[in-house]
Amino acid sequence: MHTSNALAPSLFLLCSSPLSPLALSLSVCSGLPIFSSASDQLDAAGRAPGLGGPLGGASSGQPSALGAGGGGRASMSGVSRRPGVPPLLSDGSLDYDALYDDEDECDIGTMEAHGSVVTHLLSQVKIGMDLTRVVLPTFILERRSLLEMYSDYFAHPDYFLKIADFKDPKDRMVQVVRWYMSAYHAGRKSSVAKKPYNPILGELFYCHWNVPGLPAGVEPVVPDGPVPWCDRNQLTFIAEQVSHHPPISAFYAEHYNKRISFCAHVWTKSKFLGLSVGVHNIGQGCVSVLEYDEEYIVTFPNGYGRSILTVPWIELGGPVTISCAKTGFSATIEFHTKPFYGGRKHRISGEVFQPGDKKAFLSISGEWNGSMQAKWADGRTEGFLNVNEIPIVKKIVRPISEQDEMESRRLWKEVTAGLRFNDIDKATNAKTDLEQRQRDEAKDRKDRNIRWETKSFRELGDNWVYVSPLVNRVPKNGTADPSCCPEQR
Ligand SMILES: *[C@@H]1O[C@H](CO)[C@@H](O)[C@H](O)[C@H]1NC(C)=O
Ligand SMILES: *[C@@H]1O[C@H](CO)[C@@H](O)[C@H](O)[C@H]1NC(C)=O
């Protein structure tokens, strides 16, 4: 159960690799960079068993993770970090909420200014230092939790809600695909791979969106919804870390008036692949369109953190499927990884099928971070989606001062503040505290032989489902409009 177990394979690989001079420093940063792995192998604070020991005993004070320049390159400290003036509240305390509104995060400046991950790590290593304190360069740490990242599936909430507006099942299918393809760019704007925090067990994240064209604050609130202070015109979102080993996140979103919801769970499984880290995103999501009693099952692409020895970048890869058992429409989408030599990044291609047809009625190609084209069976071509031309709708999160103890931003606020102001000791200590608490609680449960109880999701077969989905709270249309769904007649 030790959280560092996940490290073992990558550590051995690194240590026995021809890169041995680097191996030590790399292994301490424990499997390195990257994003959506929920395993603790990406723990910046290391704690690689047996490695901290031999050299770690005589800690010669805390190395500054920030100060050292990257191997003669420009100093890494403060690069586009603008330590600046901390945002303060009127009582003089730090405004933690404002740290999350920092839109400039993506603008990390040129990579030349950062140097590589390796030079950054080497710059910290001093004789006799405690290697467990070597930290990841802040430019690859994202200052938010993985649970919050999942909410980016709804960065274009209007695209999601529009699914329910179409009267024709074919149009609904196409819109599900369009929404799905709009879902990946918002959280991955940076060209450098960013690794969000691994949520701790029981962590929760709530947010909502005001949807363009649907006025907020005029409709009644939905007190039994996932975000009980929101109204019927707002899209609401809840995420919970439902398991730590294996790391599984569950999330759910709904819009009351449009009678549409989405429920998903993702089990992240990381694999060290030599020069990159692969994260399998195992699980599925389900779009429920209550008006038509339809469910669209979607799967997720894998993530890859490439070039982990230099400047890591992220790509998505693998096939995903979208299908509706009731109408028989289905789609397959391939996220293409970049060929080793040449080739473009972030390419996708996809095909959408009518029930029973082998030939697609719609083909899609392009890039998930750019524009995608549609080619219809009759030869017509047109723009399908251009994610850079549609505005991201900002999610709304209640202030940390009003949050429950287990909510992401409240849990991680000291880590976020530490990273934001380059106080890496503070960030590392806060993170270590959280993780230690998690370990202690796990041990305590084990000793007392009690199971962890999830709060808002429960396991159902192979899935994790929200305990009180919209379909259980509003009248359901058992009989869909016959003109839309011929098989219903
Ligand atoms: C998509 O990402 C790649 C790699 O980061 C970048 O080269 C390309 O310019 C991006 N495309 C758009 C349209 O932003
Ligand atoms: C579904 O039910 C709602 C409200 O009960 C009704 O307004 C709507 O017309 C129904 N739709 C279909 C397709 O039967």
DSSP 20-52: HHHHHHHHHTTT---SS--SGGG-TT---TTTH
Tell me, using a 6 A CB cutoff, whether residue 167 lines ligand 2.
no
Compute, in angstroms, the gap from residue 370 CA to the centroid of ligand 1: 7
| Nearest partner of 151 among 106, 196, 107, 193, judged by Cα | 196
Compute, in angstroms, the gap from residue 114 CA to the centroid of ligand 1: 20
Give the tokens for residue 404.
């429950």
* SS3 category, 18: coil
User: Tell me, what's the pLDDT at 385?
Assistant: 97
Tell me, using a 6 A CB cutoff, whether residue 367 lines ligand 1.
yes
Tell me, using a 6 A CB cutoff, whether residue 257 lines ligand 2.
no
Which ligand 1 atom sits closest to the C-alpha of 313?
5
Tell me, using a 6 A CB cutoff, whether residue 306 lines ligand 1.
no
Ligand (nearest to CA of 344): 1
Rounded-to-integer distance, Cα 395 and Cα 208, Å: 6
Please name the helix (run of DSSP H) or strand (run of DSSP E) that holds residue 175, with its range, or none. helix 169-181
Give the tokens for residue 218.
């005029």
Q: How far is CA 230 from CA 293, 398, 456, in A?
A: 24, 11, 17
Tell me, using a 6 A CB cutoff, whether residue 402 lines ligand 2.
no
Tell me, using a 6 A CB cutoff, whether residue 191 lines ligand 1.
yes
User: Tell me, what's the pLDDT at 189?
Assistant: 66
Please name the helix (run of DSSP H) or strand (run of DSSP E) that holds residue 437, with its range, or none. helix 424-448
Choosing from 259, 291, 485 the residue with most ligand 2 atoms within 8 A of its CB, the one to mutate for a pocket test is 291
pTM, entire model: 0.79
216 burial (CB, 10 Å; 0-12 / 13-18 / 19+) is middle
172-217 pLDDT, tens digit each: 999 999 999 999 998 766 666 678 899 999 999 999 999 999 999 9
221: which DSSP letter? Answer: B
C-beta of residue 338 within 8 angstroms of C-beta of residue 345: yes
Choosing from 111, 304, 369 the residue with most ligand 1 atoms within 8 A of its CB, the one to mutate for a pocket test is 369
Ligand (nearest to CA of 479): 2
Please name the helix (run of DSSP H) or strand (run of DSSP E) that holds residue 403, with its range, or none. none
The residue whose CA is least distant from atom 8 of ligand 2 is 291
Mark the ranges of the chain whose per-residue pLDDT is less than 70.
Answer: 1-84, 102-140, 188-193, 476-489
User: Tell me, what's the pLDDT at 310?
Assistant: 72
232-269 pLDDT, tens digit each: 999 999 999 999 989 999 999 999 999 999 999 999 98
User: Tell me, what's the pLDDT at 419?
Assistant: 84
The residue whose CA is least distant from atom 1 of ligand 1 is 369
Cα within 13 Å of Cα(258), Cβ side: 27
Q: How many residues are there in the chain?
A: 489
User: Tell me, what's the pLDDT at 15?
Assistant: 26
Please name the helix (run of DSSP H) or strand (run of DSSP E) that holds residue 210, with its range, or none. strand 204-210
User: Tell me, what's the pLDDT at 120?
Assistant: 67
User: Tell me, what's the pLDDT at 479?
Assistant: 47
User: Tell me, what's the pLDDT at 124?
Assistant: 66
The residue whose CA is least distant from atom 12 of ligand 1 is 370
User: Tell me, what's the pLDDT at 235?
Assistant: 98
Query: Alpha carbon 379 to chain centroid distance?
Result: 37
Give the tokens for residue 482.
């016959």
Which ligand 2 atom sits closest to the C-alpha of 479?
14
Compute, in angstroms, the gap from residue 103 CA to the centroid of ligand 1: 19
Compute, in angstroms, the gap from residue 217 CA to the centroid of ligand 1: 38
Tell me, using a 6 A CB cutoff, whether residue 388 lines ligand 1.
yes
489: which DSSP letter? Answer: -
| Nearest partner of 113 among 158, 142, 81, 86, judged by Cα | 81
Q: Nearest-5° angle of CA 317, CA 136, CA 302?
A: 10
Choosing from 288, 473, 477 the residue with most ligand 2 atoms within 8 A of its CB, the one to mutate for a pocket test is 477
User: Tell me, what's the pLDDT at 381?
Assistant: 98
Tell me, using a 6 A CB cutoff, whether residue 480 lines ligand 2.
yes
Give the tokens for residue 17.
């690799």
Ligand (nearest to CA of 258): 2
Ligand (nearest to CA of 289): 2
User: Tell me, what's the pLDDT at 137?
Assistant: 61
The residue whose CA is least distant from atom 13 of ligand 1 is 370
Tell me, using a 6 A CB cutoff, whether residue 477 lines ligand 2.
yes
Compute, in angstroms, the gap from residue 330 CA to the centroid of ligand 2: 25
